[in-house]
Amino acid sequence: MEATPSDSPDVTPLPPDPAEPVAAPAPTTAQPTGVRRLGRAAHREIEHFNWRLTLANVLASLLPHLCFARLRTALYRAAGFRIGPRSLLLGRIYLSGTGRIQDRLEVGADVIINAHCFFDLTGTISLGDFVAVGHHVQIITAEHEVGPSACRAGPLHPRAIRVGNGAWIAAGATLLPGVQIGASSVVAAGSVVSGNVPPHRAVGGNPARPLRALPETP
C-alpha cells in the first residue's frame, strides 16, 4: 500500500509561497485595565478643580461674618479675581462654574457684597462702581434650551449679566440669565428679575415689575 504524505513521518511540508498573501491576525480589542478605568474616573471627578479658588474659599470661611472684610477681599484678589479699589466682601460668597471662572467676574470700585451670595460664573458677571449687593442674592448666568421629552434640560448656554454703576440689589433677589440692571436702579428684596431694568428705576416682585421712577440726584 502506497504511503500518503500525512502517513509518512519523513515528509517535510513545503514552505509558504512568498507570492501568496498572508492573512493578517484578527484584531484584538484591548479592554481598559482596572487601573486605567480608575484613572479616567478620577480625572472626571477633579477636572474642574480650581485650587486657587478652593484655597481662597477655605481661608475666607475661617473669617467671621462682617469682620476682616479687607483680608477676605484680598484673598479673592490673590485667587485671580478682578475686584476694584475699596470694594469689600462682607462674608463668604459662593462661586460656581467650570474652567477659569476668575476671568468671568468683574467687580468695580467701591462695591459692597454682603454674605452668602451665589454667583453662577458659567457666563460673565460685571458689577459697576458703587454697586451694593445684599445678602443671599443669586446671580445666575446659565440657562438650558428646552430639550426633548426624555430630558427637558437641553444644551447649556451662558448669558452675561451686567449691573450698572450705583445700583442696589437688595437681599434675597435673583437675577436671571442675560439681564441688564441699569445704573442707579433698585431691585427690591426677594425679587426675581427676568428682564432688563432701566436706569433710575425701582422694580420688585416675581417676576419683577416697575415700582416707581427714582430721582436723578447727584
Active site residue 157: no
Half-sphere exposure of 40 (CA within 13 A, CB side): 5
Please state, in angstroms and rounded to a whole number, the distance separating the CA atoms of residues 85 and 65.
21
**pLDDT of the residue at 87:** 98
**pLDDT of the residue at 20:** 61
At residue 134, does pLDDT exceed 90?
Answer: yes
State which H helix or E strand residue 35 sits in: helix 34-46
State which H helix or E strand residue 25 sits in: none
Lowest-confidence range among 31-35, 89-93, 188-192?
A: 31-35
**pLDDT of the residue at 10:** 58
Are 119 and 93 spatial neighbours (Cβ–Cβ below 8 Å)? Answer: yes
Half-sphere exposure of 110 (CA within 13 A, CB side): 7
**pLDDT of the residue at 93:** 92
CA dihedral 179, 122, 80, 116 (to 10 degrees): 70
- Which residues make Cβ contacts (< 8 Å) with residue 196, sequence separation at least 6? 179, 180, 181, 182
Q: Which of 43, 48, 136, 144 is catalytic?
A: 144
At residue 24, does pLDDT exceed 70?
Answer: no
Query: Kind of pairing, strands 201-204 and 180-181?
Result: unpaired
**pLDDT of the residue at 40:** 75
Please state, in angstroms and rounded to a whole number, the distance separating the CA atoms of residues 11 and 210.
103
Distance from the first to the final alpha carbon of the chain: 124
0.85 cut: is pTM over it?
A: no
At residue 70, does pLDDT exceed 70?
Answer: yes
CATH class of 50-208: mainly beta
Q: Categorize the per-residue pLDDT at 199 as very low, low, confident or very high, splitting at 50, 70 and 90.
A: very high
Mean pLDDT (whole number) for 48-73? 88
